[in-house]
């Protein structure tokens, strides 16, 4: 039996409108009586808004094209070479979900206008046909599954954005570029337990919508990353963004002039994003809770006591604690610093930043991970590994320095000798420094 929409479109193309309606109803009625099958129609538009399920079905079915599909469409984006497939008009796609057989059909109906000067338009829809007895399963489980798959595919293909602030008409606004940083948790050399704890925390966070709602907390999370330069703080931010597929807003506090401007800038960020304030100890005089203002005082001589005209630490903290709650969901804020000891205790107080993450100098495990990534043609038992690991224990070498050495050549024998020499030189230097410091202390005493 032809599907109802085929018969309906046939009816609408050959018969005048008043009769059309009666015939369409009759066809529908007869079809329902005779068939054990049920068909759901998923229109592309509902009024003027695009139907979300249609959009999801379009993407989902693109991944279900099988050997029985006679025609399908292919496209790619300028960004990658990956080919994307999608269903062609009137093609059928079979799918199975928990042993339920489903049949999709992409229908494209030409809508003829009575006025020949007006161009004919098209109405697109999907028909989803299955046995009547699975109606509840399809509505309550299969279609939500299609939506979830769609979200997953979309996340995988998402072009992430890195936002930075631009000054336009003396007003700070966000400008963006595509974010394509290669750092992932797999490439990060850091304490494995800390890494696992962060991943666990992020997983809980993204799945936590209901928990946050239940306990009446804003759906946001704050991380403070601290450690010497080159230990991977920015790389960790990138790895977190890549893991979550979130956009990044790089907030340069030195270009913000007042609390009200900060509020405006922060409220114009989108959900599912990470706001990063790098080197928080340098970007503002964070110890001064009274006044943290650069431009305003420098550029304006009139003394205005209104706090909205200054950027204060409490303005920032208020936003994190309070106002933040009322403006959006699924937000992460990250502060990075090289000097945790210089931060105002208000920023470190428990509950303010949910996780404090130390980033440390390179460890033997960290070195092994870096070596496995940088020297793909080297097994993990190179004769110099033992010596290198012994040296690393006694030297403060950052992962950035180690990465800098490892990238010098593809030949492990050459590169690892260089690494040994580098660590030895560094060790001698550190010994000398320690000697000088001791001497200075003795003199002082």
Ligand X SMILES: Nc1ncnc2c1ncn2[C@@H]1O[C@H](COP(=O)(O)OP(=O)(O)OP(=O)(O)O)[C@@H](O)[C@H]1O
Minimum CB distance to ligand X, residue 191 (Å): 10
Q: Which of 356, 123, 389 is nearest to 227 (CA)?
A: 356
- Using alpha carbons only, how large is the chain's radius of gyration in Å? 30
Check residue 338 for interaction with ligand X (CB under 6 A): yes
Query: With contact defined as beta carbons under 8 Å apart, do 401 and 422 qualify?
Result: yes
Rule CB under 6 A: say whether 242 interacts with ligand X. Answer: no
Q: Select 234 or 293, whichever has its Cβ closest to ligand X.
A: 234
Whether the CB-CB separation of 353 and 317 falls below 8 Å is answered with no
Write down the residue that tokens 């409108």 correspond to.
Answer: 17
Q: Which of 3, 5, 9, 234 binds ligand X (CB under 6 A)?
A: 234
Output the smallest distance, CB 312 to Mg ion, in A: 25
| 233 contacts ligand X (rule: CB under 6 A) | yes
- The DSSP result for 393-445, as a single string, is HTS---HHHHHHHHTT-S-HHHHHHHHHHHHHHHHHHHHHHHHHHHHHHHHH-
Residue nearest to ligand X (CB): 232
Q: C-beta of 255: minimal distance to ligand X in Å?
A: 18
Q: How far is the CB of 391 from ligand X (least distance, A)?
A: 18
Selected from 183, 187, 231, 234, the binder of Mg ion by CB under 5 A is: 234
Which segment (29-37, 193-201, 229-237, 307-315) binds ligand X by CB under 6 A? 229-237
Please give the size of the binding site for ligand X, defined by CB under 6 A: 16
Task: State yes or no: residue 363 binds Mg ion (CB under 5 A).
Answer: no
Q: Taking Cα atoms as reference points, which of 87, 44, 80 lies closest to residue 63?
A: 87
- Asked if 67 and 60 touch (Cβ cutoff 8 Å), the reply is no
Compute the distance between CA of residue 197 and CA of residue 203 in angstroms, rounded to an integer: 10
Question: Taking CB under 5 A as the criterion, which residues in 45-84 touch Mg ion?
Answer: none
Nearest distance, CB of residue 233 and ligand X, angstroms: 4
Closest of 182, 221, 215 to residue 357, by C-alpha:
221
Structure tokens, 366: 């960290």
Q: Are 419 and 399 in contact (CB under 8 A)?
A: no
Interaction of residue 312 with ligand X, rule CB under 6 A? no
Query: Interface with ligand X by CB under 6 A: which range of 171-179, 226-234, 284-292, 433-441?
Result: 226-234
Least distance in Å: CB of 232 to Mg ion? Answer: 8
Find the part of the chain contacting ligand X (CB under 6 A) among 57-65, 95-103, 111-119, 184-192: 184-192
Q: Report whether 231 contacts 191 (CB < 8 A).
A: no
User: Which of ligand X, Mg ion, none lies near 232, with the C-beta cut-off 5 to 8 A by kind?
Assistant: ligand X
- Under DSSP, the state recorded for 69 is -
Collapsing DSSP to helix, strand or coil, 230 comes out as coil
Q: Restricting to residues 106-165, which ones interact with Mg ion according to CB under 5 A?
A: none
Position of minimal CB gap to Mg ion: 234
Q: Does 9 bind Mg ion (CB under 5 A)?
A: no
Q: Quote the tokens at residue 145.
A: 């599954």
CB 246 within 8 A of CB 273: yes
Residue 128's binding partner among Mg ion, ligand X, none (Cβ under 5 to 8 angstroms by kind) is none
**In contact, 94 and 101? CB cutoff 8 Å:** yes
Report the candidate in 438, 440, 351, 362 with the shortest Cα–Cα distance to residue 403.
362
Q: How many residues sit close enough to Mg ion to count as binding (CB under 5 A)? A: 2
We find the least distance from the C-beta atom of residue 369 to ligand X, in angstroms, to be: 7
Positions in 375-414 near ligand X (CB under 6 A): 399-400, 403
Sole binder of ligand X in the list 65, 138, 189, 253 (CB under 6 A): 189
Rounded-to-integer distance, Cα 191 and Cα 353, Å: 20
- Min CB(338)–Mg ion separation in Å: 9
Residues between 108 and 147 with contacts to ligand X, criterion CB under 6 A:
none
Write down the H helix ranges in 290-355.
295-299, 313-321, 345-348
Q: Would you say 163 and 175 are in contact if contact means Cβ atoms under 8 Å apart?
A: yes
- Rule CB under 6 A: say whether 175 interacts with ligand X: no
What is the rounded distance in angstroms from the CA atom of residue 415 to the CA atom of residue 161? 35
By three-state DSSP, how is residue 357 classified? strand
Q: Does 62 bind ligand X (CB under 6 A)?
A: no
Would you give the DSSP letter of residue 254? Answer: G
Query: Torsion angle, CA of 262/264/266/269, rounded to 10 degrees?
Result: -150
Stretch that binds Mg ion, among 128-136, 212-220, 227-235, 323-331 (CB under 5 A): 227-235
Minimum separation from the CB atom of position 302 to ligand X (A) = 37
Shortest gap between Cβ of 228 and Mg ion (angstroms)?
11
Give the footprint of ligand X on this chain (CB under 6 A): 187-190, 229-235, 338, 359, 399-400, 403
Give the footprint of Mg ion on this chain (CB under 5 A): 233-234
């Amino acid at each position: 039996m032809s599907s109802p929409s085929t018969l309906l479109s046939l009816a609408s193309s050959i018969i005048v409108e008043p009769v059309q309606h009666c015939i369409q109803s009759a066809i529908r009625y007869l079809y329902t009586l005779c068939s054990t099958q049920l068909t759901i129609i998923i229109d592309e538009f509902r009024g003027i808004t695009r139907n979300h399920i249609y959009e999801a079905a379009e993407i989902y079915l693109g991944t279900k094209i099988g050997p029985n599909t006679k025609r399908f469409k292919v496209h790619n984006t300028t960004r990658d070479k990956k080919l994307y497939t999608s269903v062609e008009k009137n093609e059928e796609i079979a799918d199975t979900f928990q042993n339920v057989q489903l049949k999709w059909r992409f229908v494209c109906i030409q809508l003829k206008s009575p006025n020949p000067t007006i161009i004919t338009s098209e109405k697109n829809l999907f028909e989803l046909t299955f046995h009547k007895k699975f109606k509840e399963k399809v509505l309550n489980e299969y279609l939500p599954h299609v939506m979830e798959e769609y979200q997953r595919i979309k996340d995988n293909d998402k072009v992430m954005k890195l936002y930075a602030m631009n000054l336009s008409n003396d007003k700070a606004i966000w400008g963006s570029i595509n974010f394509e940083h290669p750092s992932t948790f797999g490439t990060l050399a850091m304490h494995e337990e800390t890494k696992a704890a962060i991943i666990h925390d992020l997983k809980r966070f993204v799945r936590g919508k209901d928990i946050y709602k239940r306990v009446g907390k804003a759906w946001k999370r704050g991380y403070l990353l601290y450690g010497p330069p080159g230990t991977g703080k920015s790389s960790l931010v990138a790895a977190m963004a890549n893991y979550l597929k979130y956009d990044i807003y790089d907030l340069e506090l030195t270009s913000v002039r007042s609390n009200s401007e900060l509020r405006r800038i922060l409220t114009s960020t989108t959900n599912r994003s990470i706001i990063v304030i790098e080197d928080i100890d340098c970007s503002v005089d964070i110890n001064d809770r009274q006044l943290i203002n650069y431009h305003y005082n420098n550029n304006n001589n009139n003394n205005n006591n209104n706090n909205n005209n200054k950027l204060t630490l409490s303005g920032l903290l208020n936003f994190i604690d309070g106002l933040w709650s009322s403006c959006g969901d699924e937000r992460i804020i990250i502060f990075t610093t090289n000097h945790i000891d210089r931060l105002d205790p208000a920023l470190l107080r428990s509950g303010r930043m949910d996780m404090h993450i130390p980033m440390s100098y390179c460890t033997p495990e960290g070195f092994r991970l870096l070596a496995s990534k940088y020297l793909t043609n080297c097994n993990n038992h190179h004769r110099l590994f033992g010596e290198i690991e012994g040296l690393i224990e006694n030297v403060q070498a950052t992962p950035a320095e180690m990465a800098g050495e490892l990238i010098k050549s593809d030949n492990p024998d050459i590169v690892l000798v260089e690494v040994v020499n580098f660590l030895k030189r560094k060790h001698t230097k550190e010994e000398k420094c320690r000697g000088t410091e001791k001497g200075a202390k003795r003199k002082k005493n």
